[in-house]
Amino acid sequence: MGYRSQVRIVLKKENYNELVEKFKKEISKDNYMFDIKRYDFNYSERDNGNIVLFGWDDIKWYHEYNDIQCVENYLNELYNKNIPFKIVIVGEDGASEENFSDCIMEDEEYEEKFNIIQAVSYIDILEE
């Protein structure tokens, strides 16, 4: 079984497309991780399609997995270039972590557009 998490990421659409291409090239051409038919994958756009909110509801977000490393490495590249992104990971026990690029805190427009979401924890789901 393993420990499951709910993950949400916000990127500019162009960065999302780069991430998907990187994943296809480095990990899997069938792009299973970003397949909208995948039962736990979520995708939506905001700001007239310029910002993408996506993630997974029931994923083993283990840092040692190659597919997770691909996503995290790409986010690190964005961080180093000060390109806006935000990620929230909520574990099945309610533990959470949040990472984002510094420019989000420096620009109110980014802060609003990249405001992730109300990431719903597994505890909230169980209480419904």
pLDDT tens digit string along 76-91?
Answer: 999 999 899 888 888 8
pLDDT tens digit string along 13-72?
Answer: 999 999 999 999 999 888 788 988 888 899 989 889 999 999 999 999 999 999 999 999
The whole-number pLDDT of residue 114 equals: 66
**Does the pLDDT at position 2 exceed 90?**
no
Smallest Cα–Cα separation from 70: which of 33, 22, 116? 22
Whether residue 45 contacts residue 53, with contact meaning beta carbons closer than 8 Å, is answered with yes
The whole-number pLDDT of residue 121 equals: 39
> What global pTM score does this model have?
0.83
Report how far residue 85's alpha carbon sits from residue 83's, in angstroms, rounded to the nearest whole number: 7
DSSP class of 65: S
- Extract long-range pairs of 118-121: CB within 8 Å, 24+ residues apart: 119/6, 119/8, 119/88, 119/90, 120/6, 120/90, 121/6, 121/90, 121/94, 121/96
Interhelix angle 66-80/13-26, nearest 10 degrees? 140
